[in-house]
């Protein structure tokens, strides 16, 4: 059972905030990555596949999750990693080290090559190298992933008026939208710049009770600043809830800021989905340390 933890801040206008602790599902396949893999793994099994192939960046929660899930469920795993310079830096990269320990084989491609990842030709090339595999798209987003994310909200969650989540590909919010009630509003906080997300969400989402707030990406995917790190650390010290710097930290920063700006109506009952991503803190801290910046506190 995933708990909804109340955040004990004194908000104006009788507003309350709870966080659904999907991050506690597992330290490595946490939150939405667990949800997104569930039905994909069942299908791979049914199709008698023995290998999973997927894509991701250097600190990808998805890569870590697929590597671990593969090991647990007896699949070989192949990770197509963006950035050929990383091949010589695996030992400085906690995410890739973890994935490798789980048995994942890496295939590094240049950022240029990576852009073609959704073309048949690109996939064909890997079939020639590795043989048959079950393909999981980048970030794990497909209709089976959305189906898994439809299981995040439970019957009891119908009491909330606003449900917030962070967005990468839009798969998670699509699942939330599909299982929401019409009296609820689903608010997405993209962690990256770009106006393609609404269209992607419309492909999977069957309702229209949602909205994107695009002001809290902090300069783009993976970009952070000192203010965000300070917020994440303060939040952790005040609530004991760890936030990741790529997704959930930006969303919570946005929610708290919007409450202060009177965005939410009086008495709003907000549920924020903690989609996980805690494994990424280590890698971010290595970067912050190199830059001589304040690091993210972990226990
Ligand atoms: C991948 C991820 C997201 C984004 O989910 P999408 O379904 O791609 O929108 C959000 N939060 C965390 C922690 C993630 O790892």
Render 260-278 in DSSP notation, one character per residue: HTT-SPTT-EEEEE----T
Average pLDDT of the segment spanning 167-174:
96
Phi-psi region of 294 (alpha: psi -120 to 50; beta: other; left: phi over 0): beta
Q: What's the CA-to-centroid distance between 164 and ligand 1, angstroms? A: 12
CB 239 within 8 A of CB 7: yes
Instruction: Find out whether the beta carbon of 167 lies less than 6 Å from any atom of ligand 1.
Output: yes
Average pLDDT of the segment spanning 230-248:
97
Percentage of residues in the chain having pLDDT higher than 70 = 100
Q: Is the pLDDT of residue 137 over 90?
A: no
pTM of the model: 0.96
CB 157 within 8 A of CB 4: yes
Tokens of 126: 């890997």
**Which pLDDT value is given to residue 98?**
95
CA–CA dist 33, 30 (Å, integer)? 6
Q: What's the CA-to-centroid distance between 103 and ligand 1, angstroms? A: 23
Q: Is the pLDDT of residue 27 over 80?
A: no
Q: Is the pLDDT of residue 140 over 80?
A: no
CA–CA dist 277, 166 (Å, integer)? 11
Instruction: Find out whether the beta carbon of 31 lies less than 6 Å from any atom of ligand 1.
Output: yes
**What are the two backbone dihedrals, phi and then psi, of residue 107, each rounded to the nearest 5 degrees?**
-130, 110
CA–CA dist 96, 67 (Å, integer)? 9
Compute the C-alpha angle 217/172/152, nearest 5°.
125
- Name the residue of 20, 172, 194 whose CB sits within 8 Å of the most ligand 1 atoms, as the mutation to test its pocket: 172
- Name the residue of 28, 66, 169, 221 whose CB sits within 8 Å of the most ligand 1 atoms, as the mutation to test its pocket: 169
Q: Is the pLDDT of residue 96 over 90?
A: yes
CA–CA dist 183, 268 (Å, integer)? 12
Q: Where are the beta strands (DSSP E) in the chain?
A: 4-6, 16-20, 51-56, 76-82, 105-109, 134-136, 162-167, 185-190, 210-212, 269-273
């Amino acid at each position: 059972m995933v708990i909804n933890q109340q955040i004990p801040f004194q908000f104006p206008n009788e507003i309350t905030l709870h966080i659904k602790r999907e991050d506690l599902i597992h330290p490595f396949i946490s939150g939405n990555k667990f949800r997104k893999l569930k039905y994909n793994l069942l299908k791979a099994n049914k199709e008698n596949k023995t290998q999973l192939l997927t894509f991701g960046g250097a600190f990808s929660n998805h890569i870590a999750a697929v590597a671990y899930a593969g090991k647990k469920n007896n699949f070989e795993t192949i990770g197509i990693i963006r950035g050929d310079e990383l091949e010589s830096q695996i030992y400085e990269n906690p995410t890739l080290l973890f994935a490798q320990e789980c048995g994942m084989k890496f295939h590094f491609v240049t950022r240029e090559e990576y852009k073609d990842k959704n073309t048949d030709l690109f996939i064909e090339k890997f079939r020639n190298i590795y043989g048959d595999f079950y393909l999981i798209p980048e970030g794990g987003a497909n209709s089976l992933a959305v189906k898994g994310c439809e299981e995040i909200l439970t019957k009891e969650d119908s009491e909330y008026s606003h449900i917030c989540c962070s967005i990468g590909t839009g798969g998670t919010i699509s699942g939330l939208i599909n299982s929401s009630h019409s009296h609820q509003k689903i608010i997405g906080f993209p962690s990256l710049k770009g106006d393609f997300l609404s269209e992607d969400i419309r492909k999977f989402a069957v309702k229209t009770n949602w909205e994107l707030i695009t002001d809290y990406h902090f300069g783009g995917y993976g970009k952070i600043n000192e203010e965000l790190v300070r917020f994440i650390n303060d939040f952790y010290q005040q609530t004991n809830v760890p936030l990741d710097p790529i997704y959930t930290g930006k969303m919570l920063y946005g929610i708290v800021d919007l409450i202060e700006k009177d965005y939410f109506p009086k008495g709003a009952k907000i549920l924020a989905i903690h989609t996980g991503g805690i494994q990424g803190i280590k890698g971010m801290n290595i970067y912050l340390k190199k830059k001589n910046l304040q690091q993210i506190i972990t226990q």
